Amino acid sequence: MWGRTRWWIIKNVAKLGLSGLWTVEFTDFWLGDQFCSLAYTLSNLYFVGCFYTHFFINLSVQDAWTTCGTAENWGFYYVLGVLPFLVRFVQSMRRYWDSRLPTHLINAGKYGMGMLYYFFYFYWRHQNNVEHGASYILWCFTASAYAIYACAWDFLMDWSICKPHARHPFLRPELVYTSQIPSYYFALVTNVCIRFIWVFYIPSRGPSFTLRTFVAAALEMLRRVQWNFYRLENEHLGNMDQYRVTREVPLPYSFDMMHSNEDEDEEDRDVDADAAPTSWLRRQLTRDSKGSREVLEK
């Protein structure tokens, strides 16, 4: 990336750490949403730091896993993983403070539910009994609630689809990717499936839990890439409705035509300016001639 681009990313990522201190713009909450799909990556930063701190000289993955990945350290994984959700929660509350729109409170509730889901997920994951118990039930309940909550928000608010009387069922009247209609339905199905990827953790048999976690995290990142296309499309259409942008601008501009039009406008103004005194003189001469005729008749 260019130096300017790198500086832009560093500056805006740093702004996420100070969310709530100023007005939230589109770049702020869009970038925060990207990090929400990186919970797996962020949570494992603790393991990376612990590994290179204690086992930098004598590299032993097995010892590092038993030391840094113990159940007692699940709180560190949780805190790092939910930082983006906390940032988005604060941003949503700030947007509500600025606009007083209740939709921002609903959005804040979604991120609050996400933090609750990850809390019970990390707590349940580091328990001995993974198929029974209160932690398992609470995790399943919060995971279901968060998946439904997030899916509904994706479709109704972020993508603004499922509109009635749309030409294409379950979509919206206005679409940008008109030549890729099947991709909308593909996004609908895959978004729901990946939102409910947590059921992949339930079976006790099958791939290892570590592999399942990696696969689920990779699918969530791919879901976010897909989500970006339709989120930006919805933002663009919203800007068009509010007359902040136009769908297309005719290019290239013809500067000769622009100059000729300006010259014609100046000539029209000159003609109007000349016409005003001429008509005034004509009225005066007409009035004087009428007065002279009246005098002669008398």
The chain-wide mean pLDDT, for the chain, equals 83
b/e per residue, 127-144, with b = 16+ CB within 10 A?
A: eeebeeeebbebbbebbe
Inform me whether the pLDDT recorded for 56 exceeds 80: no
b/e per residue, 49-61, with b = 16+ CB within 10 A?
A: ebbeeeeeeeeee
Minimum mean pLDDT range among 70-84, 227-241, 273-287: 273-287
How does pLDDT run across 277-287, given as a tens digit for each residue? 444 444 444 44
- For residue 149, count other CB atoms closer than 10 A to its CB: 19
Cα(212)–Cα(264) distance, rounded to whole angstroms?
A: 71
* Banded model confidence at residue 132, pLDDT cuts 50, 70, 90: confident
Cα(16)–Cα(4) distance, rounded to whole angstroms?
A: 19
Which residues, other chains included, contact 274 with Cβ-Cβ below 8 Å and sequence gap of 6+? Answer: none
Inform me whether the pLDDT recorded for 20 exceeds 90: no
Inform me whether the pLDDT recorded for 244 exceeds 70: no
For residue 230, the one-letter residue type is: Y
**What pLDDT sits at residue 296?**
38
* Banded model confidence at residue 151, pLDDT cuts 50, 70, 90: very high
**What pLDDT sits at residue 70?**
75
Cα(209)–Cα(76) distance, rounded to whole angstroms?
A: 19
Inform me whether the pLDDT recorded for 161 exceeds 90: yes
Cα(297)–Cα(288) distance, rounded to whole angstroms?
A: 14
Nearest 5°: the CA angle 21, 242, 247 is: 115
Alpha helices, H only, the chain: 3-16, 26-36, 39-43, 45-54, 61-68, 74-81, 83-99, 102-125, 134-153, 181-195, 209-241, 255-297
Which residues, other chains included, contact 258 with Cβ-Cβ below 8 Å and sequence gap of 6+? Answer: none
**What pLDDT sits at residue 31?**
95
